[in-house]
Amino acid sequence: MEFTWVYEKKHPQQIKYFLKEQGISKGLLAKIKFQGGTIMVNDRIENVLFSLSENDKVTIVIPPEGEHETVLLDETPIDIVYEDEHILVVNKPAGVSSIPAQYHPNGTMANRVKAYYKRQGYENQVIHVVTRLDRDTSGLMLFAKHGYAHAKLDIQLREKKFTKKYQALVSGDVSHLQKHGWIDLPIARDTSSLLKRMVAENGRSAQTEYWLEKEFTEVALVDIQLHTGRTHQIRVHFSAINCSLLGDEMYEGRMDLGITRQALHCYDLRFYHPFTEKLLEFKQPLAEDMEAVIKRFED
């Protein structure tokens, strides 16, 4: 894969510092040097110590990544929302984990995406997960299709340039929900469980913003944006205000309305393309099980 820039500064600069400004890490530089890549200035091969002058053309060729040999193949088709040579956006169904774990090495979105890459015959088959979702959360997931794209997207994540919004179905004290509200409660591990979290004074700061979209007698649809990224944050926060997510047995959500997983869906994903810098926005309709509950209350 080849990338080219024109050096526009008036003062000289070594290639290694210029490439660092373009998001090229030391690890990627080493890969270019030792695994078959190339650095060129004005179509001549140079090393990272070469000093650039104004209007020099800098080109790097990144060698193919191959594949993660330990990631198994799952031939289940994936629902592709968007794809180009650098990124892949998919709609993840509920009940599917994002990445493999020690005792669950297959059946995840990573396994499915790897099988897709292999079917397509892509040179780069290493799986780069940029945004994960919990196993029982449905909706939009972003993969980078090579390490350089992943590194540039990670910079956006650190700088909080990503917007990821969710919709959830909640029940309980829904009449007390505001049209637009904030939940600002610290979250800590629940000492009675290896997985569960709880609101606690000694917990880490956590902020959740929400908008009330639809309200019925027993259930409400809320639009949610996280301003921190704590484990189970949405589930813990809405449980703490007595509006647990439907199907969320761990946090005392209702299990009698046809949903047996937390009714949470990532429907809106916005970020800047790692190379064109164009703002991209993707939206995904609610999963069928959540839509069925809404129709039940609207009828």
Active-site residue list: 134
Structure tokens at 209: 């913003």
Beta bridge partners of 188: 198
Which contacts qualify for 26-29: CB closer than 8 Å, 24 or more apart? 28/62, 28/147, 28/148, 28/151
Q: CA triplet 159, 160, 166: central angle to 5 degrees?
A: 160
Burial-class residue 153 by CB neighbours within 10 Å (0-12, 13-18, 19+).
buried
Cα separation, 237 vs 251, in Å, equals: 10
The four Cα atoms 25, 27, 31, 37 give a dihedral, to 10 degrees, of 10
Structure tokens at 173: 């004290």
Cα separation, 10 vs 164, in Å, equals: 39
Q: Which amino acid is at 67?
A: E
- Residue tagged 């979250």 (tokens): 187
Measured CA to CA in angstroms, residue 120 lies from 113, 114, 115, 117, 204 at distances of 11, 10, 9, 5, 43
Which contacts qualify for 36-41: CB closer than 8 Å, 24 or more apart? 36/63, 37/61, 37/62, 37/63, 39/15, 41/15
Q: What is the H or E stretch that residue 225 is in?
A: strand 219-226
- Residue tagged 């509950």 (tokens): 293
